[in-house]
Amino acid sequence: MACFSFITYASIYERHSHIHALASHHHSVVVAIAMEAEAAPLIQHLSLKLNPQFFSPKSPFLAYQGTHESCNLTVITNGKDAVHGTGVDNVGTIPAALATYLALEKLDAQEETKVDLLINAGTCGGFKAMGAEIGDVFLTTAVANHDRRIPIPGFTGYGIGKVNSTSVEKLAGEINAKLGVCTTGNSLDAHDVDHLHMGENEASVKDMEIAAIAWSCELHQTPHFGLKVVTDIVDGDRATQEEFMENLGTAAKSLQEALPKVIEYICGRSHDEL
């Protein structure tokens, strides 16, 4: 009997110290990427496999899973539009928030798959006034919305919805990335009122998803940050769509180089080491 209790205590101690070691290091990592073409090189590079059971068949979202060193990785993409019959990628805040929420809810349901970190990767517009250039890689320090204008007492801050990203300064130095705020809106282009609010958000880069993704992460208390590659200059004199199409190839290459380095760096490291 005495021997049995000794074994029990020893195994409990061992189990707890094991859990502690896992909890302090990145073990389960989600990479949320809006467009299929942006995600394809990473999926291929890490030999991730499509998990057709991950999301409900009603949703357009896709999940690819696999392991890299000590990390379990899940790459989620927003799939293609069937609702409006266009067949294009589901870009923008609604699919981004929903896909992130569903993925975190599913993975957090079990202790072994609980998500330690979520990275939102993709392209963005850059502000030359903040030092951004085409092809630059940015890691986010915070995110906010610029197109949710609600000038009613108490609602202004909700509309802006500013959320701090997990601190990744060492990682930025390691991969030669710039740091800055990403401002989110549901339009690729920007009008005067957008410029006013993007300026108030002190944005270095602009995208169409990250503030929504951060919101879902906050609900799950999941640490998160964005890795964004600049395809166009928001405060330049060229039409965004024209510059975006021209530089998508170069930016995709930067993303392809940066993402595996980021995964390599974060897997097995704790938040303090980022």
- Residue 194 interacting with ligand ADE (CB under 6 A): no
Among all residues, whose Cβ is closest to ligand ADE? 125
Distance of CA 62 to the CA centre of its chain: 15
Given the rule CB under 6 A, which of 122-130, 150-158, 174-182, 260-268 is the region that contacts ligand ADE? 122-130
- Residue 244 interacting with ligand ADE (CB under 6 A): yes
Asked whether the beta carbons of 214 and 224 are under 8 A apart, the reply is: yes
Catalytic residue among 38, 147, 194, 243: 38
What is the helix (H) or strand (E) element at residue 199, kind and residue range?
Answer: helix 192-200
We find the least distance from the C-beta atom of residue 218 to ligand ADE, in angstroms, to be 21
Angle at 128 between CA 123 and CA 132, to 5 degrees: 45
Among 136, 240, 254, 259, binds ligand ADE (CB under 6 A): 240
Which CB atom, from 65 or from 145, has the smaller least distance to ligand ADE?
145
Among 65, 77, 78, 123, binds ligand ADE (CB under 6 A): 123
What's the length of the chain?
274
Q: Please state, in angstroms and rounded to a whole number, the distance separating the CA atoms of residues 130 and 155.
A: 28
Name the region of 92 (left: φ>0; alpha: ψ -120 to 50; beta: rest): left
Asked whether the beta carbons of 117 and 266 are under 8 A apart, the reply is: yes
- Residue 208 interacting with ligand ADE (CB under 6 A): yes
Size of the site for ligand ADE (CB under 6 A): 12
Tokens of 179: 């740091």
Tokens of 71: 């990390």
Residues in CB range of 262: below 8 A, 6 or more apart: 119, 171, 175, 227
Q: Please list every residue from 159 through 188 that binds ligand ADE, using CB under 6 A.
A: 188
Among 206, 210, 213, 255, binds ligand ADE (CB under 6 A): 206
Amino acid at 157: G
Q: Please list every residue from 32 through 91 that binds ligand ADE, using CB under 6 A.
A: none
Catalytic residue among 89, 207, 232, 243: 232
Concerning whether 105 is annotated as a catalytic residue, the answer is no
Q: Which residues contribute to the site for ligand ADE (CB under 6 A)?
A: 123-125, 188, 206-208, 231-232, 234, 240, 244
Catalytic residues: 38, 232
